[in-house]
Amino acid sequence: MINFPVLVVDDNPIIQKMMNIFLSKAGYDVASAENGLDALRKFDQKFYPIVLTDWMMPEMDGLELCRAIRKLPIDGYVYIILFTTKDSKEDIIKGLEAGADDYLTKPVNHPELMARLNTGVRILELEKSLKKANEEIRILSITDHLTGCYNRGYIGKHLPREIKRAHRYKHSLSIIISDIDHFKMVNDSHGHQAGDHVLREFVRLLNGSIRNNVDWLARYGGEEFLFALPETDLKGAMILAEKLRIAVSESSIVHKDKAINITASFGVTGFDVLEACDNMVVENIINMADKYLYQAKQEGRNCVRGGPL
């Protein structure tokens, strides 16, 4: 079981010290704050998934702190246990409605506190597991299962965002659409497993030639792939496409001890925001890149063709 960082909020320094000793011995990473405002300042510096707070404090009491924490724009749940001498049902309801998850009456019984903390930790671990599972699902939903690059759904969602970002910050944006030449012959001559291997190696080769966390590559369909190149003008995109073309043509893909040589054709387009505002839609950009790709195919394949949007 993971012991999460704990923030103890109490205006009594003796209680702070006692709680710090007790929780540290239990394996928790403990910090202290003297009131709600001090606790919020601590949150600016570090995220605390567990908060143990007194109710009655100067400047900002425990209820106000609960409400403030629930409004914080933080990526993670905070489990709050409220310490109080108020033990009427009305007071308990008031504390829970303010955002507390649990409460303990003072003086705090240490074994009972540990039991409540264990409950909180189980909930936080469950939330962590759920977030991890959701992230895995999200990644699967935008990833091409064969090649590991992004899929067409990712293009539909993120290319419009790239266009809007380019327009907002007055940046250039270019795209490249690439198609493996005579890919059907690879499948016919070597089998579909070899074809799948070629696609994976093709993506690995291309991914190694673009900027990490800036450019991105997605499978557009079949053996066609789309590159999005933020802050790259048409000239830069043409240079990159030619480098990619050479890299593909000079590489030999080995499958079951047999070398498979391929080439690819590239269609390139891009825009400067100030020159192409009327055409800044996904369909126009992709159609123009497709047009230049078709031109490259018509003119003999294994070449790069491109032009402005």
Rounded CA separation 223/206 (Å)? 13
Amino acid symbol at 8: V
Residue 224 annotated in active site: no
- State the catalytic residue, choosing from 125, 127, 136, 223: 223
Helix/strand/coil (H/E/C) assignment for every residue in the chain: CCCCCEEEECCCHHHHHHHHHHHHHCCCCEEEECCHHHHHHHHHHCCCCEEEEECCCCCCCHHHHHHHHHHCCCCCCCEEEEEECCCCHHHHHHHHHHCCCEEEECCCCHHHHHHHHHHHHHHHHHHHHHHHHHHHHHHHHCECCCCCCECHHHHHHHHHHHHHHHHHHCCCEEEEEEEECCHHHHHHHHCHHHHHHHHHHHHHHHHCCCCCCCCEEEEEECCEEEEEEECCCHHHHHHHHHHHHHHHHCCEEEECCEEEECCEEEEEEEECCCCCHHHCCHHHHHHHHHHHHHHHHHCCCCCEEEEEC
Among 20, 75, 19, CA closest to 47: 75
* Phi and psi, residue 177, nearest 5°: -115, 125
**Residues carrying an active site annotation:** 223
